[in-house]
Amino acid sequence: MTSVVICFLISTSFAAEIPQDERRSGTAFMTRETQAMQEDDRANPGMLAVLDGEALWKDAPPGAKACAGCHGEAATSMKGVAARYPTFDEARGRPIDLEQRINLCRTEHQHAPAFTWETRELNAITAYVANQSRGMPITAGTDERSRPFVEAGRALFNKRQGQLDLSCAQCHDDNWGKRLAGSVIPQAHPTGYPEYRLEWQSTGSLQRRLRSCVFGVRAEPLGYGAPEQVDLELYLMWRARGMPLETPAVRP
């Protein structure tokens, strides 16, 4: 009767977390050329999104204040903010990510329509805000209230899923540094989002990146802004705690 039992076995992976001192940003796995492109603001194509975001920061929607009208100089008011996101939101009783926070300001404080996920506008304003924290250590997920959501994200990370029946951890904890066809598997630290991906030929969000890994194992896509997606983002940020933010990163 072993086969019958096998059907009902819950698949879990026994991946071990990466020791803190062995953690490396995706930057470490790139070619010298791509690293150089990221390091030089004049060559980094992600800086175009940051510049677009700066314009949006100063741009007042009809009959409302600009972001700058309430928050002043982003270099001061937004410094360190992205390193804390996703963060626990009192009103919603759960974590929200930086894109969601910005859209709350759009709808509640500017009475303007929310920016749609993955649009040039949302990625640009998010990249601009996150760029103000470049070089600062990630602190998201380290507070008590975030704990259960970090754990929910961890469970999703460790769960085998999709037709290929693979967990995120089996690639990113157990096999980082090896090659999946032509691509080196990084450790999946979300240190540089929104980031410019050469493959996309554009700047994209962390959620977009997660969706392509989910798609790769032929699993059900996670919806943009869905609670599971934010829990996963939060877990990844917590897993990268202490590592410096690099927005806008460049990736292959």
Partner 1 sequence: MTRTAAMLLALAACAPAVAEPLQPYEIVGDAIPAPLTQTPGDAARGRAIVVNRRVGLCLLCHSGPFPEEKLQGDLAPDLAGTGSRWSVGQLRLRLVEPRRLNPESIMPAYYRVDGLDRVAPAFRGKPIFSAQQIEDVVAFLATLKD
Active-site positions?
Answer: 213
Whether the CB-CB separation of 231 and 153 falls below 8 Å is answered with: yes
- Which backbone phi and psi does 55 adopt, to 5 degrees? -65, -45
**Burial class of residue 61, CB neighbours in 10 A (0-12, 13-18, 19+):** middle
How many residues are listed for the chain in this entry? 252
Rounded Cα gap, residues 149 and 109, in angstroms: 27
Check binding of 8 to partner 1 (CB under 8 A). yes
**Distance set, CA 56 to CA 6, 50, 72, 114, 202 (Å):** 55, 10, 13, 13, 18
Degrees, nearest 5: CA angle 83-84-86: 110
- 101 interface partner picked from ligand HEC, partner 1, none, CB below 5 to 8 A per type: ligand HEC
Q: Using the rule CB under 6 A, give the single segment among 42-50, 133-141, 184-192, 238-246 that binds ligand HEC.
A: 184-192
User: Which of residues 12, 119, 183, 200 is near ligand HEC by CB under 6 A?
Assistant: 183
Residue type, 112: A
86 sits in the region (left: phi over 0; alpha: psi -120 to 50; else beta) called: beta
When the beta carbons of 102 and 156 are compared against partner 1, the nearer one is: 156
CB nearer to ligand HEC: pick between 47 and 229 = 229
- Closer to ligand HEC by Cβ: residue 110 or 146: 110
CB 198 → ligand HEC: shortest distance, Å? Answer: 8
- Using the rule CB under 6 A, is 232 a contact of ligand HEC? yes
Kindly identify the residues of this chain, within the stretch 173-202, that bind partner 1 according to CB under 8 A: 174-175, 178-182
Chain residues 64-103 in contact with ligand HEC, contact rule CB under 6 A: 65, 67, 69-71, 81, 101-102
Q: Of 188, 184, 166, which Cα lies nearest the Cα of 239?
A: 188
Q: What is the CA radius of gyration of the chain?
A: 19
Among 11, 20, 116, 119, binds partner 1 (CB under 8 A): 11
Q: Which residue carries 């879990």 as its tokens?
A: 12
108 is a contact residue toward partner 1 (CB under 8 A): no
Binding site for partner 1 (CB under 8 A): 1-4, 6-9, 11, 13-14, 159-166, 170, 174-175, 178-182, 215, 218-221
Residues lying near ligand HEC in the complex (CB under 6 A) are found at 26, 65, 67, 69-71, 81, 101-102, 105-106, 109-110, 125, 129, 157, 166, 168, 170-172, 180, 183, 185-186, 188, 190, 195, 199, 209-210, 213-214, 216-217, 232, 236, 251-252
